[in-house]
Structure formats: structure tokens, C-alpha cells
Amino acid sequence: MRLKPEKPYLTSVKIFVLFDIDGTLLFSDKIDSRCFADSYTAIFGRPFPTIDWTRFAEVTDHVIFRTAFHDHFGRYPTPAERVTFENRYLDALNLARAAKPNDFREVPGAVALWHRLNADDRFLTGIATGGWQRPAGVKLAHIGISPNQPFAGYANDKFSRVDILNEAIGLAGDLHDVQQTIYVGDAVWDIATTRKMGLPLIGVRRKGDHDTLARLGANRIVTDFNPPSAFFNHLTEIVKNN
């Protein structure tokens, strides 16, 4: 059993604001998804089935890669095959950003909001993404957020997004008295995950298509993080009502 470290004596109660990455903090108009698919085809010689992630049982790099591989070869990939694929994918992400850096952008206001939350003693920030840790780090670093986040959950060996969020929540809870966790995400699977966990969600739809999440029951949605007041209003209301 993992022993939890003692919490700092003067720790204050925190609100843990946990962010998805793709579509929430940053976007690439599916270039990153195509890097994933093209890397798979280049290594394994089979066409990647789809970059419509809703077609997979769980939207994590781990599950998506294993599912495609099993469908093609009738077995699951070895650890060495997974590392080979991840390395190729990582190279593709770096090359794409070097070639056209402006195609990979933050959701407006995301970085300023991130730093503002971290400067406010009431809040902790964290990352919970369906991506593997190394590719996620490339994406965060490109927009100016440190890839070395202390409270983070990634898809490495994870079969569900619930497991990913729980990893980040557990790390934050080891060191802080967390009063409330609030997840920030952009996709239909973020609604499903937070609903399973009983967590409040603030949805992000940078193209303004709020109905994508609203029709599934999300009632707190922003287009982006400008101005930050709308986002902070949602945080305040969630904390007040819980």
C-alpha cells in the first residue's frame, strides 16, 4: 500500500482545477491526430482506421493504439512495439511544430489563465489528458506551459479516463487539502468521465458550438478563456453550490 506523505503543516484548503489538453488548452485542427495515424501506418504498414476518437471504447492513446493494433494483427502490441510507435509519433509532433509553429495554438487566454490560477493561493492546477506523457509534454511546452506538472495524469498504461483523472487527483490530495476538484474539458467523453466520477465540468468549445456539450447536459461552457471573468464566475458558482 502506498503511504501518503504528510501534508504541509500550513497547507490551505484548495480548489483543484484539472485541465484536459487537446481542444481545451491548445488545438491543432487535427494535425496532431494525423501525426498519430501517419506514424502508425509508417511503422506497421497498415492504414490507421480512423481519427474519429468516438469510435474507440476509451479515448486514451493507450487504448486507441492497442485497439488498432489488435484489429490488424490479432494480438496486443509488445512494450517494445509501443515504445517504437510512441517515439515515431513524438518525432512527428516535433517536426510538425518546427515546420509550421503557428498551426499549433493555445485556446485564447489559456496560458494567462493558467498562470493566474497558479498565482492565486486558493487554487491548484493540474493536467489529466488521454495522451501519453511525452507527447503531452511537447504540446504543453509549445504554448509555454511547463511539461513537468506535479499533479498530472496521463494515458501511460491507463485503460480509462477515470483512471487518468484519479491519478492527478490522488497526487494533489497527497500534498494538499483539496476541497473541490473541477475538470475543464472540451469533448463528449469529458462529460461521460466527469459524470461517472461525480465531478463538475466546465466545458470549452473554442468554435462557439456550445450545443455539442449542452445537449449532453453540460451547463457551464465557455468559448475560450477571454475574458477570464466568465471562467472565474463558473468556478465561484461551482464552489458555492457544492
Cβ 73 vs Cβ 45: under 8 Å: no
- Tell me which residue range forms the domain holding 121: 13-27+106-241
User: Which of 80, 102, 124 finishes a domain?
Assistant: 102
Q: Are residues 114 and 78 part of one domain?
A: no
Q: Are residues 112 and 220 part of one domain?
A: yes
Q: Are residues 129 and 19 part of one domain?
A: yes
Side-chain-facing half-sphere of 161: CA atoms under 13 Å = 29
Q: Identify the pLDDT of residue 12.
A: 72
Q: Are residues 145 and 116 part of one domain?
A: yes
Q: Are residues 196 and 94 part of one domain?
A: no
Q: Are residues 60 and 20 part of one domain?
A: no
Q: Are residues 112 and 78 part of one domain?
A: no
Apex 62 CA angle, 56 and 63, nearest 5: 25
pLDDT in tens, 59-84: 999 999 999 999 999 999 999 999 99
CATH of the domain at 169: 3.40.50.1000
Q: Are residues 212 and 110 part of one domain?
A: yes
Structure confidence at residue 9 as a pLDDT band (50, 70, 90): very low
Residues 6+ apart with CB under 8 A from 58: 130, 159, 160, 161, 189
Question: Could you tell me what percent of the chain has a pLDDT over 70?
Answer: 95
Q: Identify the pLDDT of residue 119.
A: 95
User: Which of 69, 102, 135 finishes a domain?
Assistant: 102
Residues 6+ apart with CB under 8 A from 63: 56, 57, 155, 159, 160
pLDDT in tens, 180-193: 999 999 999 999 99
Cβ 159 vs Cβ 63: under 8 Å: yes
